[in-house]
Structure 1
Amino acid sequence: MLQDAGWSVQNAGVGLDLWGPQGVAVREVATKIGPADYLLYVDRKLIGVIEAKREGADLSAAEQQADGYAEHLKSEQRRASWRPTLPFRYASDGGVTTFRNTLDPDSRTRQISYFHRPQTIARWMHDADHDPQAPTYRAKLRSRLPELVIEGLRPAQIEAIRGLEHSLGEGRERALIQMATGAGKTFTACTFSYRLIKYAKAARILFLVDRNNLGTQARTEFENFTTPDDGRKFTELYNVQQLTGNAMLDSSSVVVSTIQRLYLGLSGKAIPQNDDPELDSYDIEGDLVLAYNPTFPPETFDLIVVDECHRSIYGKWRSVLEYFDAPIVGLTATPVAQTFGFFHQNLVSEYTYEQAVADNVNVDFNVYRIKTEISESGALIEAGTSVPVRDRRTRRQRYEDLDDDFQYTGKDVGNHVLSLGQMRTVIQAFKERLYTEIFPERAKIPEDKRMVPKTLIFARNDEHAEEIVSVVRDVFGRGNDFCTKITHKAKRPHELLAQFRNSATLRVAVTVDMIATGTDVKPLECLIFMRDVRSWSYFEQMKGRGARTVPQAEFQAVTPDLPEKTRFVIVDAIGVTENPKVDAAPLDKGDPAKRESLEKLLAKVAAGTIGEQEVSTLASRLARLDKELNNQPAQRVDIEQVAGQPLHDIVRGMVDAVSVDAQEAARSSGGKQAMQELLGRALEPLASNPELRKRLLETRRALDIITDEVNQDQVVFAGAVLNAEQGQSMITSWREYLEENRDEITAWHTAYSQRTKPPHEIFAELQRIAQRIALPPRRWTHERLWKAYEQAGLTAARGNARHSITDLVTIIRYELGIDQQPSPYEEVIRGRFVNWIARKEQTGTRFTCDQMWWLENIAQTTALSVRFDTAALDHVPFSTQGGTDGFLTAFGDDRAINILNELDQDLTA
């Protein structure tokens, strides 16, 4: 791999030659703490280190070793080094390679396909020396981009550009821009491309299109783009090239291509210059095989923009994108579930960060519950979806098309299934509510001094922990020194534990069992449970990790933003505080078989209903499993004991039975019956052995971990868990507040019920009421108030139903004695709307489907905004049907006005 990338691999000693090649990788070089596998020299300067491991080794541990070697050089090595510590750090097991550049702000590890070239690192060194305050591309993304010139840009474009630049500045590797057709996606791309090239010094940007003719349009738009601060055309300053031949110009700042043409270039094949429609096809036999190509090294691009982010990139073609070491930005008008999954749920045009506003100290211990759809009910991945599948032993990841719908439960999350959507949603919810609901007392701390409380996350297993670490770093936009894994499989876990206990930088640790019992990290203020625990005693011990008191000086040494530790919070993301506990210790061919799951195929074997092509498919699946068992000797022995023979022999018998020659011989000798008997004999080892079929399924599932990156999870409830007594106390305090502010509340309700103010003012005043009660010392939200009414039995419990700010309307009306019971405002409006429609029908009025669409959306908008404002007709969703003009066309001018007045009176009476 090193030689492919242009490195000269040499041994230390008298034969070492640093003057010939530009890049030299020296094997087994002693440092202060031991021998580094490779030390890297560029232009005779020591610049980096590689830690090499066997396939499947823990690369997190290897990264820590590389950090140690890079930071503990001998004195003579320091004299030869470019920086006091080596910034470029690699870890590799030959199949997976990770890289970290510590010159990046909040530097974090990322996976790369190959090592970087020496000339690339030489360029990075030059750039760092030239701009030491922003030494890297990622540093310039954070600090060198000037204020956006908004003249000539639409609001959606401004939001997209600012959101993307913010995301890139945080180091996030995937970002999605959703923008309606015709809103100017390519113009937006031209704008941020220009800014990244000019100010962040991006060397080259790839603009991928769905079809080659769209590439021509994109190139034309770049050519016509007038730079906002210079006034010249983009192509007067930077070269834009459409990839229609093999050669990519060194001077190209933007390269426009289809993914198919890029793949041809990567494969060393000729790229036709003409517009060949066949090259726009995404159908390809077999897997895409990519090797290192010095013409297109992985660092060729600093950014990849995927226009329309077509579904092909989520399947086998994604390997083309992932070959390159560059952030990927998607542009689309219509994202699907896989789109959000591929782009890590990072919708930057809507990406916002909540600011903490609360400031109060609660009880020493409380529970904050986060429920998501997937953690509660699991999810379904549809058949045919391409999913990442990871081998538990080697950690190598491959992509497979699911043969059948894959349904998993919330209990499978973190074990057989790693749900990226669930992990990301929980951590995002934790971050968004960290200073507003979970730790509101930190809101008064200046933002540049505010710290994330020391947090310990309990994961289900080591693989789960790895993914959680990655998500935490990504969501918080922080580096390796902010969050790490501390498990028994980690390298030098006790040193990491000491660092977590004593360091002010390391804020979040993810563990399985290592810190669950008997290990004190006294400054801990938050425990996040992303795994269930059935043992009461074990749970109590885990809970105790956050309950320890700590001397003020010791606490401030690692958490200087607070004077002392006063409480801790359990963030329950899996239901651990709710569950009862006990104290106890290519043969694959043909339709429909190609979409049959292994479980269904084995069930057909048991029932005797399996067909010839299905037998071929089953043999293919079992042959693949047999090969994978080469790395699982204990499981192979177990299966062979149950089967009474090697699995290979069973597979070979099935293959022979479905061969053309065998089938023809059986047909000639005994017809169809003989053919069926031949298959029966081959399948007998499976058909007669239920335990073997069961064991094969268990083994198949145990070997692999499926990663669900398709299903976008969402929070269904997030809030402090209250008991009946706490709920009643909150209601008592709420009623005192209403009494103290009776004039204001009564005036608001009068304006609402008598329509003395415009709808938007009514809603704005309700928002101000909500903002005031959310401030300390109350910290009440509409969700918490509603939960209190449920706990006190004053309204019916509605499970995981979500509430909006408009629900304050019915709570206020209840407390004013107008309504007998508070009900969700949307429920009230929906009921009144149904009754209004029924009364209209009784009088002979019938509405068309088109008219019903308008009426239903008006009712829905009313439920979310207290009263309907006619100005809303010119906004989504109404603008999609012509806005005000469309409404007038649907009902007629006079009738339209009457309809709006009637609805306003009946729905919000």
Structure 2
Amino acid sequence: MDKPDKKKLSERDICTKFITPALIHSGWDIQSQIREEVNITDGRVLVSGETVSRARPKRADYILSYKQNIPIAVIEAKDNTHIVGSGMQQALVYGEMMDIPFVFSSNGDGFLLHDRSGTYEPMEHELSLSEFPSPFNLWSRYRIWKGLDDTKERIITESYYSTDFRKTPRYYQLNAINRTVEAIANGRDRILLVMATGTGKTYTAFQIIWRLWKSGTKKRILFLADRNILVDQTKTNDFKPFGSAMTKITNRQVDKSYEIYLSLYQAVSGNDEEKNIYKQFSPDFFDLIVVDECHRGSAAEDAMWREILDYFTNATQIGLTATPKETKYASNIHYFGEPVYVYSLKQGIEDGFLAPYRVYRIDLDKDLQGWRPNRGQVDKYGTLIEDRIYNQKDFDRSLVLERRTELVARKVSEFLKNTGRYDKTIVFCENIDHAERMRQYLVNENADLVQENSRYIVRITGDSPEGKAELDNFILPDSRYPVIATTSRLMGTGVDAQTCKLIVIDKRIESMSEFKQIIGRGTRINEDYNKYFFTIMDFRKVSELFADPDFDGEPLENTEFDPVASPPSIKPVVPASSGGNRYVVNDVAVEVIAERVQYYGADGALITESLEDYTKKHVTRQYATLNSFLTSWTKAEQKTAILEELKEQGVLFDALQEQVGKDYDPFDLICHVVFGQPPLSRKERVEKVRKADYFTKYGGPARKVLDALLSKYSDGGIADIESMEVLRVDPFTAIGTPMEIVNTIFGGSANYISAIRQLEQCLYTAEC
């Protein structure tokens, strides 16, 4: 039998017929060491108006692992029309992302090896199919690269918890797990992990603890968190596999027979000596302590967590945080050291694991211009108002403008009425008093839904047992109520609100850590509940913090830490009252003077320039001239493929339509906005086709189909013409089934596709 012509084989055939057999021949086990077509990322979420799609995920053709948890080689395959090294640059991206030292490219003739470990000479060289290295060969080189002896190898090769070899932690989680276990194997006893909110810090911690516990490296472990709900969620969810070896410290008498202890840090510490339950343990009882959200408590020298950590000073200690703190007064980096791994919000959004956002900024006149009382003016309680200019720093602290709160509640309600009145929403307020007033005004704006269920809007604050009791219901994706939660600080951290689609900020935020935590309430994706992105409604200019380099920068870009400096004094917020230093004014009008929407760009930053300039910049990177764009558009078999590619590069067609005109096709938006051509609406293009003699070449049924396609284009755009799915809806169902339309009316798929191409040519050119 003749051998198949390699040049005619698909990439997948090259893998099946040449690459996989070469790996098996070299000793790789297809069941436990070889994974094919591995999605490394999910693909960035692309938002167009209220609709979403995903960019193409990064996918490795092969990931090879010597042990379950340690990927050591990646292979990028190409078909045989490419040279052997064509996939190398792509493979190197994957290798760097996944901490993989040995990177290969292949076209079925052989392999090109790139060595990131420094154990091969030269760094890049070709191998024949029969020369692919064995698992033992690559692992031996990996040991040299990592400096592993037998003891260290035993620790780092302990498997993570899994019930399926094919289901592994996400690549960044595995990086964090492996780097932490390696650091401990190498004797490091203070470790910091920085992972954006929503990326699975607790799951990552579980896998670290599991491997160290199973290997016998660490035998008694304490996991500390500062919210009871976090401890309970951890025990019942991520840490569940520990089973009977695990306990939660809940009382003042501890049982020392367990191995895994979970605790609210307040439960093991206090101001009185007898309340320090942790001292019932000997200082060397725990050999591993993991501190969740370590930016809040353990960074300060005199914090209660630090007291616990100092007591168990001989234990290995791991800090987990989304927002590394590095200020003049507190530093978790000073305590834990440089992070062994950082996974940022920007990277999480780029990979498609976190939800992108848009910012709806609303500026109010009194916030920007300030307000001064008239001489002798009193507030609603008859208290004389101090004569000075009040501005945004004062509002809802020393001065309450009730009509301002009313206006904010109205704008929030209007937004939800346009997007979805049952979209989970958190409104962050200055204080508990402000949160209660906001709840009242939101109730009045949404009286119809509150009438149906009073839990539609709730205040969830630390002083309200009734509100706190609703926190779990707000978090649960399948719980409809509550929908809107007003809060001040309680929901700012540690609340896993997977379906939160709107975050309203009506409080001043001057801490980058607090800002990141608040934004983190919306970054989770939940596909089952159609949560792919979220909106930030900003009434206090807080979104300007997105422009701060520290927002998504490296943790050491802040002020140099001074361990002996005294922390600043904190002035208490004046409680709500009818007098004192807080005035309540109910007869001052407040108006909106500016509104604008900012979108998350492809470069991971908010788009601050005009959409027109932004679009022009991104389109001309690929199409420098109108002629180059028109040539590609005319030649493209699928026009939508060009549009999808431009979307992936950051072009926001729906947002552009909102500004330029909803009646314009993306083709006309590009020609007009980028290249200055006069646009035609979709209806104008359809009329041009109908006036031409394009239809004369087709019989009655075919003409009816094409005319219906034109109507679909007029309403929805080019995607409706190119999708075969359109044939499954009215009015096509009255003409025939998709198969009948294609095969009977047009005489086959080739003829149908040819008719569509001619229709598109007539739409977009002068030729019909």
TM above 0.5, yes or no, is no
TM-score (norm 2): 0.29
